[in-house]
Structure 1
Amino acid sequence: MAQNDEKKELRYGFTTGSCAAAAAKAATIMLLSGKVKDRVSIVTPKGTVFETEILDIQRAENEVSCAVRKDAGDDPDVTDGILIYARATYRESERVNSVNSVDNINNCDQRACGNEIDGRETEIHGCGSPVCITGGKGVGRVTLPGLDQPVGEAAINHVPREMITKEVTEVSEFFDNKLPLMIEIYAPEGDAIAEKTFNSRLGIVGGISILGTSGVVEPMSEKALVDTIHAELSVKRALGNDKVVVAPGNYGLDFIKSRYNYDLDKAVKCSNFIGDTVQMAGEMGFTSFVLAGHVGKLVKLAAGMLNTHSKYGDHRMEVIAEEAEKAGLPESYVERIKECISTDAAIDVIDEYDDIRNERQDKTNSGKETADEYKSLVDETADSGSDLVSITETGIRRIIMNNIMTRIMDTLQSVNPTGMKLYVIMFSNKAGFLAASDGAEDMIK
């Protein structure tokens, strides 16, 4: 019997990363065993088993390719139904004239396959190691810094790379294979699909990204998500809680756990529906509301966005650049912020200027800076009317983030007619704690 739509449980899907790992596993099994494999299963990082049919199997000497069809479940994902391919070859074998290959399939993404990505140790192997991973037709290439992978490498993020390496290594060990393997991930429809995404704006060109941290796609029906948030709030209120701690996603939850040792069973995840969550909490009678989130999400609130999904806009760099200009950053730095593709990159620009100012102020205080050097520094901020000493002593990043926090609070208060006390904590994965409204940290400890 069909269930009423209001009560229908949404179906989970699986990420492009899970599809790539499953296809790579199947291709490796067929390469090493010489036998056709029409179904495989893997365990995702979330712990969910992903079992899937293997499609479009192509076998040749020392080479096997196959595909897995992406199933996004009930999530409105533009990659739903796309075929994600993996080609497994021995690294000694050289193939030429393959329409799906990058320039040389025997050259893995060397930097991405290194021992470290952005300071993060990985399981991915470099050239000459047992498993090398590269991207082919329809998989994008990174062109700007600040993303998961280095510039020039295939847009296959680190968790999918780890998943692929794990599956291929286990199969290789099972068959006692001693030869290094090359795994090429490609998606023939990726070029066309990528035009429907924000990849080009993020600095990824030529195709889709192979993504996923849990391996599972959680459905994003807006009504269902808001209903779930409402239910969680309702339960916590029914248990007698006057205060609720909310985070948009896992980054926020991880932050409050690591910094404040907060019990995550008491927290609520609100996704992009921050405005709705504030309104619902107020209507339920909560007296205190603490929001902890990544700057990339919360800075959108400063722009007046109450739903922070990218389909409603971005405005992150506009807000940061505007506040940086008000705080006295020279025009050249403000323009650099506007060109940033991530909030971490924008903060790096601010910190770079902060460091220069502090270094020059130290020189001035110690008498090692000439009058001309000091005048040049003062001239940089003359148009803004900023005070050199007060800014350097306080830290210009702190000034900017505190001003952004003020704007965030103004936006949240606009949907808080009940007078519920609002508190906000903002952080970044790279810089850590950035700002908090008055009393916010005391409320969460």
Structure 2
Amino acid sequence: MREMFVIKNGKKLRCGYTTGTCSAAAAAGAALLLLKGEEPRTLRAKLPSGKAAELAPAGCGLREGRAFCSVIKDGGDDPDVTNGIKITAFVSKRKDGIIRVFGGAGIGTVTQDGLKCPKGGSAINPVPLKMISQSVRETAEKCGYAGGLDVELEAENGERIAQKTFNPRLGIVGGISILGTTGIVEPMSERAVIETIKTEIEKYGAENRQAILFNAGNYGKAFCREKMGLDLARGVKISNYFGEAIDHALYCGFKEILIISHIGKISKLAAGVMNTHSSVADARAEVFAAHAALSGANKETVREIMQALTTAQMIEILKKAGLEKETLLSVGESILQKIGARTKGAARCEIVVFDNEEHTVFISGGAVELAEKISF
């Protein structure tokens, strides 16, 4: 795969690979060495898009019946703290036909419910987990091996590096997470991202559209496609920049805005937070605690919500208290009020909010009708 670049703020910035892609490539290399005795010169990993990434090994070998292969993460021009980290995959045979992927030294362990990885398991997100398993399985098939394999991942200095991430706040201990929904890291610059969002909004505005779809992230993209039948090619990914996106949509003359977002992101709007990046503000617990109290929650329930680390945990607390529906309705209405204050009535705005399980937790009155309108 050729090097990829993006143009942001008039600069040509080099893309890189996620920890998930690096892990999948390292695992494939270790499997090849174990099963065929060949030390790979180039490592390959299939990306979710179907394209293949090619990476250089940073060392391979055999040790106590296991093969290992390392990759140095190259995040391109993205200033992520995991850039340059060494990820090593150790592969060994199993007697059954199972491929098991788990974390070792430097890979975090999940200690709380509500995340995409199960509590007690390694912090290896679903997409990279699938990439790693697929890479190892395809390598085994090429080598004529039908047995099982254990894949253990390690990240050099992962525990130290993880302290500079949001893992400690999410209840992930002992190391970094293996992440990535596309396998590709695109360089992030806040101003550049906002300008890109504005450019996309202007593109739709130039087509004389009256309604626009805003999607807050990759999971929202999947939700739109699978649950609502919406083609996200007709929408704009706004990331954390709700306020900037709404303002620019009004500037471009849009009269109707549909926003589809995960509850963990959009709930912050209920507190008037229009840039939802965690480095700017994290008002989730305060929002849920306040609206739970308005819905009749007692002091102990409010305290539990304030101590929760994720919105999934907060919703579980509300379920146990019998206050889930009423509180989520209150939060949703507050989000609409804050958006209305931002638009000052210049545009109609509808929202669809979903959770980790891709269940709709709040949908405004005209959202379905507007979604159908946009999908044509």
TM-score, length-scaled by structure 2: 0.90
Alpha-carbon contact 2:223-2:358 (below 8 Å) kept: no
Equivalent of 2:339 in 409, 412, 423: 412
Secondary structure in 1 aligned to 2:55?
strand
Which AA in structure 2 matches 1:193? I
Q: Does 1:301 align with 2:294?
A: no
Aligned match of 2:33: 30
239 and 155 in structure 1: CA distance in 2 versus 1, 3 angstrom threshold: same
2: CA distance, partners of 1:438 / 1:89: 55
| Range 318-327 or range 37-46, more displaced | 37-46
- 159, 162, 177: which one aligns with 1:194: 162
Match of 2:351 in 1: 424
Q: Does structure 1 residue 77 correspond to structure 2 residue 85?
A: no
Q: Find the partner of 1:17 among 13, 17, 20.
A: 20
Secondary structure at the residue paired with 2:14?
A: coil
CA contact (8 A) 1:38 1:55 kept: no
- Equivalent in the alignment of 1:139: 107
Instruction: For 2:169, give the aligned amino acid.
Output: R
In structure 2, distance between residues paired with 1:288 and 1:19: 42
Cα distance in 1, alignment partners of residues 354 and 103 from structure 2: 33
- Residues 279 and 4 (structure 1), Cα distance of their counterparts in 2 relative to 1, 3 Å cut: closer
Letter in 2 for 1:45: P
Partner AA of 2:347 in structure 1: M
Compared CA separation, residues 158 and 433, structure 1 to 2 (3 A): closer
CA RMSD of aligned residues (A): 2.2
Q: Distance in 1 between matches of 2:68 and 2:228?
A: 48
Residues 36, 341 of structure 1: alpha-carbon distance in 2 compared, 3 angstrom cutoff: same
Which structure has the larger Rg? 1
Q: Which deviates more from structure 2 when the two are superposed, residues 249-258 or residues 154-163?
A: 249-258
What amino acid is aligned across from residue 86 of structure 1 in structure 2?
Answer: A
Asked if residue 51 in structure 1 is aligned to residue 19 in structure 2, the reply is no
Matched, 1:223 2:191: yes
Give the distance between the partners of 1:72 and 1:342, measured in 2 at CA: 27
Residue identity opposite 1:195 in structure 2: Q
Contact 2:354/2:362 (CA < 8 Å) preserved in 1? yes
Alignment-mate amino acid for residue 200 of structure 2: E
* 1:109 aligned partner: none
- Letter paired with 1:433: T
The alpha-carbon distance between structure 1 residues 353 and 60, as it changes in their structure 2 partners (threshold 3 A), is: closer
- The question of 1:266 aligning with 2:214 is answered no
Deviations along 1:73-119, one digit per CA (max 9) or x if unpaired, are 23221101111111122347xxxxxxxxxxxxxxxxxxxxxxxxxxx
Please list, as runs of the form range in 1=range in 2, the aligned pairs for 1:172-321 lying within 5 A after superposition: 172-321=140-289
Counterpart contact for 1:16–1:210, Cα < 8 Å = yes
1:142·1:205 contact (CA, 8 Å) conserved in 2? yes
Q: Is the 8 A contact 2:109 2:122 kept in 1?
A: yes
- Residue 436 (1) aligns with residue 372 (2): no
Deviation at 1:278, TM superposition (A): 0.5
| 1:10 match: secondary structure | strand
Counterpart-to-counterpart distance in 1, 2:341 and 2:279: 22
Report the AA paired with residue 83 of structure 2.
D
- 2:9 aligns to what? 6
Residues 1:318 and 1:212: Cα distance change in structure 2 (over 3 Å): same
The Cα shift of 1:235 comes to 1.3
**How far, CA to CA, are the matches of 1:414 and 1:222 in structure 2?**
24
Rounded to whole Å, the distance in 2 between the matches of 1:330 and 1:223 is 43
Contact 1:288–1:420, Cα closer than 8 Å, also in 2: yes
Q: Which residue of 2 aligns with 1:103?
A: none
Q: Distance in 1 between matches of 2:224 and 2:358?
A: 15
Of the structure 1 ranges 31-40 and 192-201, higher mean CA displacement relative to structure 2 is found in: 31-40
Checking the alignment, whether the CA contact within 8 Å between 1:140 and 1:209 is kept in structure 2 is yes
Distance in 2, matches of 1:443 and 1:35, equals 57
Question: Could you say what secondary structure the match of 2:101 adopts?
Answer: strand
Comparing 244-253 with 290-299, greater Cα deviation is found at 244-253
Instruction: Name stretches of at least 5 consecutive residues in structure 2 with no aligned partner.
Output: 1-5
8 Å contact kept, 1:344–1:430: no
**Aligned residue identity for 1:413:** G
CA distance in 2, matches of 1:17, 1:5: 24
Q: Which amino acid aligns with 2:93?
A: Y
**1:4–1:51: structure 2 CA closer, same or farther, 3 Å change rule?**
closer
Distance 1:74 1:146, change over 3 A: same
Following TM superposition, by how much is the alpha carbon of 1:289 offset from its aligned partner in structure 2, in angstroms? 1.6
Gaps of 5+ in 1: 93-127, 355-395
| Higher alpha-carbon deviation: 308-317 or 55-64 | 55-64
| Residues 1:284 and 1:212: Cα distance change in structure 2 (over 3 Å) | same
What do residues 296-330 of structure 1 show as CA deviations (whole Å, max 9, x unaligned)?
11101112211111111211122111110111122
Using structure 1 for the length normalisation, give the TM-score.
Answer: 0.77
Q: CA deviation at 1:292?
A: 1.7
Cα offsets for 1:142-196 (capped at 9, x unmatched):
1112222222222122222222221212222222235532221001210110010
State the Cα distance separating 1:340 from its structure 2 match.
2.4
8 Å Cα contact 1:18/1:44 also seen in 2: yes
Query: How many Å separate the matches in 2 of 1:339 and 1:243?
Result: 39
Amino acid at match of 1:80: N
Which segment is superposed worse, 297-306 or 212-221? 212-221
d(CA) in 2 for partners of 1:178, 1:426: 43
User: Quick one: which amino acid aligns to residue 207 of structure 2?
Assistant: L
Q: After alignment, is 295-304 or 51-60 more displaced?
A: 51-60
Structure 1 residues 196 and 424: alpha-carbon distance in aligned structure 2, compared to 1, 3 A threshold: same
